Structure 1
Amino acid sequence: MDVATVKKKVIVVMGATGAGKSRLALSLASHFPAVEIINADSMQVYRGLDVLTNKITPAESQGVPNHLLGNIDPSVEFTCKDFRDLAIPIIDDVLSRNRLPIIVGGTNYYIQALVSPYLADDVVEDMAEDSRISRLTDVDLNDINSASAFKLLNEIDPIAANRIHPNDQRKIQHYLSLYSTSGILPSTLFLGDTSRKWGRADNFRYNCCFIWVDAALPLLDRYVNDRVDSMIAAGLLNEVFDIYKPKSDYTRGLKQAIGVREFDEFFRAYFAADSSWVNSLTNDQVSSDDANMFTKPKLSGILNSHDSNTLRALLIEAIDKFKANTRKLLRRQRRRLNRLKSDFGWKMQYIDATKAFQDESDNSWSVWVVEPCVKIVRSFLLEQPGFLSSTGAPYNVLHLTSKDLCTQYVCEACGNRVLRGAHEWEQHRRGRVHKKRASRLNKCQRTFSVDQQAAKSADGELNSTFCNSP
């Protein structure tokens, strides 16, 4: 093979939130001293909310360089294209110094954008100059809610609307913004090489060793619940307090992070109850630092209070929402990782950390997670027999491109839940919850049908009686 065509090797550690990605990357760094870590978490790239976003601390890093960690202005929208454009020069620099880049994160579309040389956003600039499509000039995208935004997208570009979930506010806003600024129908980007090749295993920018660290779902659920409690104890409420503003836009920047909007109702009630704090700010009688000094101590006391007041109830409810939404996130992340395998052909080295989570000791983590991963990375770097890297075998391109990724399925039994693609629909249809709801719906429909027939029969008998009366 021509040396110029040999792809540089990178390690990619993936997994759902709470699975131990950062811990594994640091463990690998202790076995491969030339490691530098590139963060690929869409919330950890922002400055601020270090506790809530679970950033690695300098003490935990132990001197291992961490790139793209807390660098981005929290008010800006940082896209996968922005991430890619910043990450590639960093990775190239790490490689040029004969060091090993380990890309770590649960934001799969960031990693897809990074490893794939094809990205839909790149086509926009080329197409915009030739566009003849009228643009949105009289709509402020920030002022429309999720349902209205999806309806608008469906009117403008039904093909694009059919590709995404009606509640996927990020993508809806992205598509509308694309149309508003460039006049390009988003669906035009789904045509040609960009759509067919984006994120596919046969077109990677690097020679990638993908490590997927995972554990049994009940253990991950318990872990993220405990982690939220630890975050509260470590000052999470103070972090959210510092960035809280009434009527905030929770669809942009750092405020998208799970654990921010969940506390909105609590803080609205908190500030309304603390009228002296509001008045002091209104009359400019107390500085912001003084206000923080007077109000922040109250936050830690509310949760520990034995009083059954409204604020405490709202705070407990907010924490429960935070935990529930984090559990939902880890399920979405696991589904997306499975899609990368089944629909895009990614070859992943699966590491089951279940026993390490059960034992919770450093030795167990080393035995069940670190040691297998060290062997995987060493085999990958040395190209030992038996290791299949991302460029190690041909892929069934026909199989990959024939996947049904666009068709939407609506499940009536589960409250008209929308599923994308045949694979996601089949997974949902086989689920225990769906089967119970479908059975209940069918039973109700049968009962309704029987009742209707009985009613018709009764009406017929009544009419017959009247007709035969003398």
Structure 2
Amino acid sequence: MASSSAAAHCRPKVVVIMGATGCGKSRLSIDLASHFRSAEVINSDKMQVYQGLDISTNKIAPADRRGVPHHLLGSLDPDDGEMTPSQFRSLGDAAISDITSRGSLPLLVGGSTSSILSLLAERFDQEEDVLDRLGPPARPKLRYDCCFLWVDVSLPVLEEHQSKRVDEMLDKGAFDELAGYYDLRRTDPEGWTGLRKAIGVPEFDRYFKKYPPPGGGGGGVCPASPWRWEDARKRDDDPVRQGAYKEAVWEIKKNACQLAKRQIEKIQRLRGCGWELRKLDATEVVRLAMAAEEEVGSGVRWQGVWKRQVVGRSVNIVRRFLHE
């Protein structure tokens, strides 16, 4: 027992922030880093690891990072092929070693449970799905001393939030971004790998196949141009084209909700097999944040609830974890 405890203390400490897409993981990571000044973020989202489609994959903007260093965020060229679990394990190991060598705290943040497991599990075989083998007798041992924070939002509230978030992303320029990424030569669904699996790409690829951007797209970042596809769409009086656009948006919203459900199911399986996941209920926060868009003064309310119920609890949990 003593030797087991000593071994645990020898392992690097890692804080893991999990949760479904849109629950506030990135916001929490930055807030935690403001309390633990030497904290650095390691992205574990499968799509955000690639360069490009920053709006569509909802990468946290540099201005919102408050100077907190981020690793594996937009760092891989999508044209180099799909990142394998083994590659993520290797890259994640290197990031943790780099961060801990400077006396800093790694914050592993993302909704891709399989990526998190591929990095943290002591025994790993990329030919097998670790989650398929999970159960009370098969809890994977961890290579690091981990503190798991699970940001949870009730599914009905999260689905409403997802719908609004898709609209916000389109307003911020996701449509133009996807138009620039469209490439007629790479629209075969059987050939979708890496970043092309990101929600928004296949849905709008079908739209752009009917209504191609100028030049057929470039397969990369949207080229600088005063001509905006979003502006063109708003001026379009073609009801058939408008219907195709609305169908693509509806598909994105539906697929985002399905992704969130799968992510929650996987997290619940981890908890069911015995992992200690500290659940942080952010349902009220998300509900108030959505209301804040329509009610004056609600913004202060949701921020206060967020600080008390999510950030405050997280800080206490991590502080105890670091002193164990």
> The TM-score by the shorter chain falls in which range?
0.7 to 0.9
Correspondence for 2:187 among 248, 258, 271: 248
| Greater relative contact order, per chain length (Cα 8 Å cut-off, separation 6+) | 2
Q: Which amino acid aligns with 1:337?
A: I
Partner of 2:292: none
Given that 1:249 and 1:255 are in contact with CA atoms closer than 8 Å, whether structure 2 keeps it comes out as: no
SS at match of 2:17: strand
Partner of 1:100: 105
Work out the CA distance in 1 between the residues paired with 2:103 and 2:223: 51
Report deviation, 1:264.
1.9
How far the C-alpha of 1:308 sits from its partner, in A, is 4.9
1:371 is matched with which residue: 288, 312, 315? 312
| CA–CA separation in structure 1 for the residues paired with 2:222 and 2:19 | 42
1:338-397: CA deviation from partner (whole Å, max 9, x where unpaired): 11122x3211001111111122221121111111111111111112xxxxxxxxxxxxxx
- The reply on whether 1:41 has 2:15 as its aligned counterpart is no
Paired residue secondary structure (1:56): coil
Equivalent in the alignment of 2:293: none
- Secondary structure at the aligned position of 2:315 is classed as helix
8 Å contact kept, 1:200–1:346: no
Q: Could you say which residue in structure 2 is the equivalent of 1:21?
A: 25
Q: Name the residue aligned to 1:297.
A: 228
Matched, 1:311 2:249: no
Q: Deviations over 1:151-195 (max 9, x none)?
A: xxxxxxxxxxxxxxxxxxxxxxxxxxxxxxxxxxx6xx69xxxx7
1:213 aligns with 151
SS of corresponding position for 1:120: coil
SS at match of 1:12: strand
Kindly indicate whether residue 35 of structure 2 is the aligned counterpart of residue 31 of structure 1: yes
- Taking structure 1 as reference, are residues 8 and 290 closer, same or farther at Cα in structure 2, changes over 3 Å only? closer
Query: Of residues 61, 64, 67 in structure 2, which corresponds to 1:63?
Result: 67
Aligned with 2:123: secondary structure?
A: coil
The secondary structure found in structure 2 opposite 1:310 is helix
Cα deviation code 1:242-264 (max 9, x no counterpart) = 12122524430211101100012
Query: For residues 224 and 289 of structure 1, do their structure 2 counterparts lie closer, same or farther at Cα, with a shift above 3 Å needed?
Result: closer
Residue by residue over 1:54-109, the C-alpha shift from the partner in whole angstroms, topping out at 9 and shown as x without a partner, is 11111101110000000111121101111110110110121121111000000000
Against the structure 1 CA distance between its residues 291 and 259, is the aligned structure 2 distance closer, same or farther, given a 3 Å change threshold?
A: closer
> 1:290 Cα deviation (Å)?
12
Which letter does structure 1 place at the counterpart of 2:107? I
Distance 1:376 1:298, change over 3 A: closer
Other-structure match for 1:341: 271
Among 356, 377, 385, which residue is 2:285 paired with?
A: 356
C-alpha change, 1:206 and 1:245, in structure 2 (3 Å) is same
Which one of the candidate residues 228, 243, 250 is aligned to 1:320? Answer: 250
Q: Structure 1: which amino acid aligns with 2:232?
A: G
Give distance in 2, aligned partners of 1:196 and 1:216.
24
Aligned counterpart, 2:323: 382
Whether contact under 8 Å (2:180, 2:223) holds in the other structure is: no
Query: Where does residue 83 of structure 1 map in the other structure?
Result: 88
Q: Go from structure 1 to structure 2 and tell me whether the alpha carbon gap of 1:291 and 1:26 turns closer, same or farther (over 3 Å shift).
A: closer
Unaligned runs of 5+ in 2: 290-301
- 2:142 aligned partner: 204
Aligned residues: 297
Contact 1:116–1:200 (8 Å) recurs in 2:
no
The 3 A distance-change label for structure 1 pair 201 and 100 is: farther
The answer for the alignment partner of 1:435 in structure 2 is: none
Does residue 9 (structure 1) correspond to residue 13 (structure 2)? The answer is yes
Aligned residue identity for 1:92: S
Q: Which residue of 1 aligns with 2:296?
A: none
Segment drifting more, 248-257 vs 64-73: 248-257
Where does residue 114 of structure 1 map in the other structure?
Answer: 119
Per the alignment, do residues 70 and 249 of structure 1 end up closer, same or farther by CA in structure 2, a change over 3 Å counting?
farther
Which region of structure 1 is more displaced relative to structure 2, 352-361 or 227-236? 352-361
Instruction: Give, as a single letter, the amino acid of the residue that structure 1 aligns with 2:84.
Output: T
* CA spacing shift, 1:52–1:196, aligned 2, 3 Å: closer
Query: Contact 2:42–2:108 (CA<8 Å) still a contact in 1?
Result: yes
Shift of 1:115: 0.6
Q: Indicate which of 192, 210, 214 corresponds to 1:269.
A: 210
Distance, in Å, in 1 between the alignment partners of 2:138 and 2:98 is 25
Aligned partner of 2:297 in structure 1 is: none
Q: Deviations over 1:36-64 (max 9, x none)?
A: 00000000000000000111111101110
Whole-Å Cα distance in 2 between the matches of residues 21 and 289 of structure 1? Answer: 26
Contact in 1 for aligned 2:179/2:222 (Cα 8 Å): no
Residue 426 (structure 1) aligns with: none
Deviations 1:387-433 (A, max 9, x none): xxxxxxxxxxxxxxxxxxxxxxxxxxxxxxxxxxxxxxxxxxxxxxx
1:225 aligns with 2:163: yes
**Which has the greater radius of gyration?**
1
Cα separation, partners in 2 of 1:58 and 1:79, compared to 1, 3 Å: same
Change (3 A) 1:81 1:305: same
Residues 323 and 80 of structure 1, relative CA distance in 2, 3 Å threshold: same
- Give the 3 Å change call, closer, same or farther, for CA 95–298 of structure 1 in structure 2: closer
C-alpha distance after superposition, 1:10-43 (max 9, x if no partner): 1000000011000111110111111000000000
Give the C-alpha shift of residue 4 in structure 1. 5.7
What secondary structure, in the 3-state scheme, does the structure 2 residue paired with 1:13 have? strand
Q: Extract unaligned runs of 5+ from structure 1.
A: 122-185, 282-287, 384-470
- Aligned AA for 2:141? N
